[in-house]
Amino acid sequence: MNSTDFILAASESVNPLLPNPWEILVTGVGFAVLLFIVIKVIAPKFEQSYEDRVTAIEGGLEKAEAAQKEAEETLAQYKAQLLEARTEANRIREEARSEGAQILADLKTKATDEAARITEQSHRQIEAERVSALASLRTDVGALATELASKVVDEALQDDARAQRVVDKFLTDLEAQQNAGASN
Amino acid sequence: MFAFALPMASEEGGFVPPSVSDTHLPDLFPWMAEYGTGFGKQMLMIVLSIVLISWFFTVAIKNPKLVPGKMQYIAESGYAFVRNGIGRDIIGEKNFRPWIPLLFATFFFVLLNNLFGAIPFLQLPSFSHAGSAYAMAIIIYGTWIAVGLKNHGIRYFKLAVVPSGVPGWIMPLMIPLEIISNFIVRPLTHSLRLMATMLAGHMIVMLAAAGARHLIVVQDSLAMNGLGILVIVGSVAMYFLELLIMVLQAFVFALLTAIYLQGAIEADAH
C-alpha cells in the first residue's frame, strides 16, 4: 500500500458536506456573541457618531444662515438709519434756510420801520422848529415893523422914491432873515 | 465521490495532489485529536475573528471625532457600506434600521473569516468547513422565517409560497416549486455557495503549493523545476482572484441575507 492509496482512502472518509458539529456550535455561539456586541456597543456608537455629524453640519448651516440673516437685517437697519439721517439733515437745512429768510425779512421790516420812525421824528422836529421860527418871526416882524414905522416917521417921508427904497430894503432883509431862520 | 485526489500519479515518485482531508487539520483540544471530535484550528479562527472585529470597531469608534481619523474613517466607511449599500438599498428606508447590526455582523464575520484564507500561517478560510456555513445559514434562515411570521402571522407561509398573478391551473405546479425553492433550497444554496467557493479557493492554493513543491523539489529535470516556478507565479494571480472571491462571497452572503429579510418583511407586497 503506497501513500497514494492512503490519501485516497483518507479522502473518501471525509465528506466536505458533512459538518463537524463542534464547528456549528462554535460558529453559532460565536456569531451570537458578535451580534450581541454589535447590537449593544458598535452599532449604537456608529449611529450616534453619524447623527452627531449630521447635527453638526446642519447646525453649522443653520448658524451660518442665522448670521447671514442678522447681517442683512443690520445692513437694512443701517440703510434705514442713513436715509433717516439724510432726511433729517435735509429737513434741518431747509428749516435753517427758511428761518434765515424769516430773520432777514424781519430785519428788513424792522429797518424799514426804524427808517420810517426816524423820518417821522425828523419831520415832527422840523415842523416844531418851523412853528417856533414862525412865532419868533412874528415877534421880529412886529418889532421891525415898529422900527420901520419909527424910521419912516423919522424921515418924514421927504422923498417918495427914498421911501420906496426903504420899504424894499426892509422886505429884502426880512426875507434873508427868514431864510436864515429856516436853515437853522 | 468526494475524492478530490485524482489517481493520476501512480508512476514512480508520482505527484500526490492534496485532498479535502488536508483541509481538516487535526483538532487542538483534546490535543491533536482526530478531526471532528474536538476544538480545532478552524474554530480558533472563528473565535479570533470575533475578537478582531469587536476590537477593531470598538476601538475605532471609541472617541468619535467629527472629522474622523484614519482608523475611524475606515471603520465608518465599512459600517456605512453595510448600512447603506446593503441594508438601506435592499430592505428599504422604512424598515432597515433594526437589521443593521445583523447585516453588519454577518458581513464582517464572513469577510474576515474568508480573508483568513489569504493570510499566511492562518491560511484557511473558516467557511470552507461546512459546519460554519451551515450555522450561519441556519441563523439567517431562522431569522427571516421568524420575521415573516411576526409581520404576517401564519398567513406568511401562504404569502411565501402562493405567487400572485398566476392562473389557478398552474398553482399545483407552482406551490410545490415555491416551497422547495424558498424553504429547502434557499438555505442550502446560501450556505453551500459560500462553503464551496471558499473550499475551492483553498484547494487551489493547496494544489498550487503542493504542485510547485513537487515540481521543484522532487523532479530532477530543469524544465520541470522551471515549470514549478511558473506555477508559483501563476498562483500569485490565483491569490488575487481568491481575494476578490473572498470579498465578493462575503458581500453576496450579506446581500442575500438582506434580500431574504426584505422578502419576509414585505411578503404581501409581491
- List of chain A residues whose C-beta atoms are within 8 Å of the C-beta of residue B130: 16-19, 23
Beta-carbon contacts of A140 under 8 Å, excluding residues fewer than 6 positions away, are A177
pLDDT of residue A113: 94
Residue A157's region, left for phi above 0, alpha for psi from -120 to 50, else beta, is left
Contact A42 B10 (CB under 8 A): no
Q: For chains A and B, count residue pairs whose Cβ atoms are closer than 8 Å.
A: 154
Tell whether B74 lies on the interface with A, counting CB pairs under 8 A. Answer: no
Cα separation, B113 vs B126, in Å, equals 5
Higher pLDDT, A13 or B229: B229
Question: Which pTM does this prediction carry?
Answer: 0.68
Whether pLDDT at A4 is above 80: no
DSSP string, A18-56: SPPHHHHHHHHHHHHHHHHHIIIIIHHHHHHHHHHHHHH
CB B104 within 8 A of CB B82: yes
The percent of residues in chain A predicted with pLDDT above 90, rounded, is 46
Tell whether A55 lies on the interface with B, counting CB pairs under 8 A. Answer: no
Q: Please report which confidence band the pLDDT of residue B2 belongs to, taking 50, 70 and 90 as the band edges.
A: very low
Average pLDDT over residues B94-100: 91
Predicted complex ipTM: 0.84
* Residue in A31, A33, A54 to test binding to B, most B beta-carbons within 10 Å: A31
- List of chain A residues whose C-beta atoms are within 8 Å of the C-beta of residue B66: 52-53, 56
What is the grid cell recorded at A30? Answer: 460565536
Average pLDDT over residues B189-210: 89
Q: Please report which confidence band the pLDDT of residue A183 belongs to, taking 50, 70 and 90 as the band edges.
A: low
Tell whether B218 lies on the interface with A, counting CB pairs under 8 A. Answer: no
- List of chain B residues whose C-beta atoms are within 8 Å of the C-beta of residue A33: 50
B8 exposure class (CB count in 10 Å sphere: 0-12, 13-18, 19+): exposed
Nearest CA in chain A to B6: A8
pLDDT of residue A3: 42
Tell whether B50 lies on the interface with A, counting CB pairs under 8 A. Answer: yes
CA A45 to centroid of chain Cα atoms: 63
| Closest to B200 (Cα-Cα) out of B237, B250, B235, B245 | B245
CB B116 within 8 A of CB B125: yes
- List of chain A residues whose C-beta atoms are within 8 Å of the C-beta of residue B28: none
Domain locations in chain A? 21-165
Q: In angstroms, what separates the C-alpha of A86 from chain B's closest C-alpha?
A: 50
Q: Which B-chain residues 7-26 have CB contacts (< 8 A) with chain A?
A: 7, 9-10, 14, 16, 19-21, 23-24
DSSP string, B46-63: HHHHHHHHHHHHHHHTSS
Cα separation, A69 vs B24, in Å, equals 71
Whether pLDDT at B8 is above 80: no
Tell whether A44 lies on the interface with B, counting CB pairs under 8 A. Answer: no
End-to-end CA distance of chain B: 41
- List of chain A residues whose C-beta atoms are within 8 Å of the C-beta of residue B40: 20, 22-23
Whether pLDDT at A140 is above 60: yes
Distances (CA, A) of A147 to A152, A154, A163, B2, B168: 8, 10, 14, 189, 174
Cross-strand partners of B112: none
- The closest CB to that of B76, out of A14, A15, A46, belongs to A46
